[in-house]
Structure 1
Amino acid sequence: MKRNTSQSITRRTALTLTAGAGALLAAPSILRADAPHKRVLNLQSLNSGEKLNIVYWADGDYLPDAIMRVDWFMRDLRENKAAPTDPRLLDLLHDIDANTRSKNPIYTMSGYRTERTNAWLDARGNGVDPGSFHMRGMAIDITQDFHDPEEVYRVAKKLGRGGAGFYPTKTPYAHVDVGPVDAWVYPAPGRPGRDEEYDRLRAEAETQTG
């Protein structure tokens, strides 16, 4: 499924999708049994309180309506704006959840960020990357087991599918992204220039395939 990265998502658009996606989740098991496999995300925002338990992939492909609901859930809450989420990030969250011991939802703290929100956070410190993958819909800050908040970081680091950072702050959390592989523990920063590295590698790959 190819996605239009310039796609605009509004709250009205997201809400109109609820009925269709809800019908998918409520479908009788006899109908879902035909699918060889499905991927589910169980998310809860610690900032908005919103919850989303959704099948986002089935029958070998991503489900457009479900993906758009995830995009809205991941929105920048300061500006109430959403952008397409990289599907690889959703798969990473799915695999992190499958490899942690916790049965809790994945608690989200910060998903997509506009450039203005990222600059505002950067000005306040706290180790925010000026070239953050949050601005590309490729990163999210999460926690799951409040008694072992580092577990998500350990699993993400072991999976080795992008950046993994642990922030043992007053409210501990892990940062995960699908940029170049890296790992760090705050206050140590991630490797600088990973955004430029990603752009260079992607350009090289497009040149080779073109």
Structure 2
Amino acid sequence: MTPSCNITSKGRLRGENQMTIDSSTSMSRRALLGAFAATALTAAPTLSNAAGFLRGGGDIRRIRMYSGRTGERIDMIYWIEGKYVPEAVREINHFMRDWRTDGVKSMDLRTIDIMSAAHNLLDASEPYMLLSGYRSPQTNAMLRSRSRGVAKNSLHVKGQAADLRLASRSVSQVARAAQACKGGGVGKYSRSNFVHMDCGVVRTWGR
């Protein structure tokens, strides 16, 4: 069955790297699966009660984002009954491209799952604002020359990280939801009002 999707985009799909839909990686999938079955919350769960929301699994996974840089929006069901939808993944990859160079990379689906699960736990009605998804090596080097906070081997360059903001939730709330997924790194950037999520080693930083 074809998923129901609502996509608004100003650009056409461009050439992409080979996609890997099979994401049988070392990440703790069991913890993430249950986040999609979470009941509604008005705020992010604390780590002490997160286990109650990390049981079972959902039938669909959805991602909602907009970009202030490109003016594009995406509202996409990308996983249905145990399978990723290739067409949806291609749209996500394009949306999360490096807007400075228009470079597209296959995003690591583990990061998309963390983003989706955290949004589910927050029970927010509005989409994420995507500040940064994939970064080309050139873009990362340029940003690194301007800020000490940009890592030389940033996971953004590997398509494994995203910087996100939610208007109706605080940085701490979004970060707690992402941490509850226990799927990767979570960084709080309260001054700049965004949360970094990645599928690397489980760790936290910032305030």
Q: How does 1:41-190 map to 2 (within 5 A)?
A: 41-146=63-168, 148-169=170-191, 171-185=192-206
Q: SS state of the match for residue 183, structure 1?
A: strand
Q: How does 1:23-38 map to 2 (within 5 A)?
A: 37-38=59-60
Q: SS state of the match for residue 150, structure 1?
A: helix
**What does the per-residue CA deviation read over 1:66-87, in whole Å, with 9 as the maximum and x for residues that have no partner?**
1000000000001011000111
Q: SS state of the match for residue 134, structure 1?
A: coil
1:80 and 1:56 map into 2 onto residues whose CA distance is 22
How many residues are matched? 155
**What does the per-residue CA deviation read over 1:33-76, in whole Å, with 9 as the maximum and x for residues that have no partner?**
xxx82111111113222100011011321111110000000000
Task: Pick the structure with greater CA Rg.
Answer: 1
Give the share of equivalent positions with the same residue, in percent.
Answer: 31
2:79 and 2:130 map into 1 onto residues whose CA distance is 20
Question: Which residue in 2 is equivalent to 1:200?
Answer: none
1:176 and 1:123 map into 2 onto residues whose CA distance is 22
Q: Comparing both structures, which one devotes a greater share of its residues to helix?
A: 1
Question: What's the C-alpha RMSD, in Å, of the aligned pairs?
Answer: 1.9
CA contact (8 A) 2:13 2:94 kept: no
Letter in 2 for 1:151: Q
Per the normalisation by structure 1, the TM-score is 0.69
- Deviation of the 1:146 alpha carbon: 4.6
CA contact (8 A) 1:145 1:151 kept: no
CA contact (8 A) 2:164 2:196 kept: yes
Per the normalisation by structure 2, the TM-score is 0.70
**Greater shift after overlay, 39-48 or 73-82?**
39-48
1:181 and 1:101 map into 2 onto residues whose CA distance is 23
Q: SS state of the match for residue 136, structure 1?
A: coil
1:102 and 1:12 map into 2 onto residues whose CA distance is 29
CA contact (8 A) 1:150 1:173 kept: no
Structure 2's unaligned 5+ residue stretches are 1-10, 16-57
Letter in 2 for 1:119: A
